[in-house]
Amino acid sequence: MMKNKFLKLQFGNKAIIFTIDVLVGLIIAISFLTVSYLYLTKSTNDLPNLSVLRTGDDIFSVMDYDNDLQTLDSSHIQDTTYDLLPDHYDIYVNITSSDGKIINFGGNIPDDRFVASGKRYSVKINQNTTTYLTSRYWMWLK
Amino acid sequence: MKKGIFFTIIIVMLVSILLSLSILNYKNYERNKERLSEIGSLDRLTTITTSISNGFKELFEAYSGINAVSYGDNIVFEETLVNSQSNTFKSKLDSYESYLESQDSSISIDLTEFKSTLPLTIMPHNITYKHNSYGGSQIIVIPSQLNFKKYHLSIEPGFNITSCIWNYTVGSLSFELETGNSGCDNLVSLDYTVNNIININNGGMLINVNNSLRITNSLANSDIKVNITLNKMSNDNPIVVSQVDVMHINYPLLNISRNSWFRII
């Protein structure tokens, strides 16, 4: 007795079922690979971000301990900052003092990448006069 | 037919392994990201507390009227008794406190106890140097235990020494007094479990040595140098810090907070 054919094709139903099987297999495999790819590409390394933050802290610690910040001399602080700043970083600096001085310099803060920010407080003692400073910075990879 | 099934199973397994590894990698990345965020937050907090602490140290060195130095196993505190700079230092501390708190609402400074007796602690020995009242007539040194070798007290009296009576019991604690007056200077070993008294000018200046050292001056201002020779407790040099926590910093968004003293030496 002959089997009934699903479609009356020359080679019977085997070919179309095989094709559907291959297509379903491919769809599943491609889905798995896509999901895997997405997970892998999301897993970027954030360690350089910490390095940006620490570099900024280091620069301002050095300038504080060397009393560069306490000069409140904009051009001196700017020169020292860029001397200490590694080539592949950029920075924006804002320094305010209790006697009303404000120092700002640096590049435009980007919004398309990680920007590390930090702050430190310093004291400037000149004879019997005391001035308090707040130094803020924003740093990013160029 | 069997080959096809076998092939399919192999492919499914390989792709599943790849997917599992990707998910594991992603989870690991998420955990690392959290840790890095925590480390970054702690770094930021440490930078802020260190810079504030450094400011307190600079104010202390400039205005407290106390010179604290460390050399070898010795810690030396030097000041004039009565310390006439206490009011200036207290006012500088107040202005620094106001400035910091105005800059960041997360920072809270509490100097009440510190300004009251100016307690400084030698760590890790836990020996406290303070005053009955900062700007008052008495210096007090309180060790938590006998983990030091010697007190060496140098006094430049602002008055003439007319009498000096030593009333002490011999023991194991080395004590040396230098006043520039040969009738008063001595190097002895005291029993610190009983009260030993050196009475200068009929109670004008009293030095009590027992489980603490107390120097009381009701005569003219005199320079007092207290040198404490410590037992070696670790390879690190001893440090001197404010005894009480003066800084309270709380960043609720970063979910971190810290109470901290500040370091003098």
| Tokens encoding B255 | 């979910």
Which residues of A are less than 8 Å from B43 in CB distance? 50, 53-54, 57
Q: Look at B19 and A118 and tell me if their CB atoms are within 8 Å.
A: no
**Same domain, residue pair A93 and A60:** yes
Over residues A109-131, mean pLDDT = 93
| Per-residue pLDDT at B25 exceeds 60 | yes
- Please name the residues between 17 and 36 in chain B that touch chain A, using a CB distance below 8 Å: 18-19, 21-23, 25-26, 28-29, 32-33, 36
Q: Please, are residues B42 and B247 in contact by the beta-carbon 8 Å criterion?
A: no
Assigned domain for A62 exists: yes
| Per-residue pLDDT at A133 exceeds 90 | yes
| Per-residue pLDDT at A4 exceeds 90 | no
Query: Using a CB cutoff of 8 Å and minimum separation of 24, what contacts does A72-75 make?
Result: A72/A97, A72/A101, A72/A103, A72/A124, A72/A131, A72/A133, A74/A103, A74/A105
Span A39-49, pLDDT tens digits: 777 767 777 78
Assigned domain for A1 exists: no
| Per-residue pLDDT at A8 exceeds 80 | no
| Per-residue pLDDT at A113 exceeds 60 | yes
Q: Which of B21, B26, B95 is closest, CB to CB, to A42?
A: B26
Q: Look at A43 and B99 and tell me if their CB atoms are within 8 Å.
A: no
**Same domain, residue pair A62 and A130:** yes
| Cβ neighbours, 10 Å, residue B234 | 7
CA within 13 Å, CB half, B241 = 18
**Same domain, residue pair A92 and A110:** yes
Domain residue ranges in chain B = 37-260
| Per-residue pLDDT at A137 exceeds 80 | yes
Domain of A60? Answer: 47-141
Nearest CA in chain B to A50: B40
pLDDT the model gives residue A115: 93
CATH of the domain at A118: 3.30.1140
Q: How far is A24 from chain B (nearest CA, A)?
A: 11
Average pLDDT of chain B, as a whole number = 93
List Cα–Cα distances, B47 to A61, A64, A103, A140, B249, in angstroms: 8, 12, 21, 18, 12
- What is the C-alpha separation between B151 and B168, in angstroms, rounded? 15
| Tokens encoding A136 | 């803020």
Q: How far is B182 from chain A (nearest CA, A)?
A: 39
Q: Is B6 left (phi over 0), alpha (psi -120 to 50) or beta?
A: alpha
Q: Which of B11, B44, B51 is closest, CB to CB, to A64?
A: B51
What amino acid occupies position B217? Answer: N
- What is the C-alpha separation between B163 and B181, in angstroms, rounded? 10
pTM of the model: 0.86
Assigned domain for A55 exists: yes
pLDDT the model gives residue A10: 64
**Same domain, residue pair A87 and A71:** yes
Lowest-confidence pick of B63-67, B185-189, B238-242: B238-242
**Same domain, residue pair A35 and A65:** no
CB–CB contacts below 8 A, A to B: 95
The residues, any chain, with a CB within 8 Å of residue B190's CB and separated by 6 or more, are B168, B169, B170, B171, B173, B174, B175, B196, B209
Average pLDDT of chain A, as a whole number = 87
ipTM reported for the complex surpasses 0.90: no
What's the total number of domains in chain A?
A: 2
- Nearest alpha-carbon partner for B213 in B155, B131, B133, B123: B131
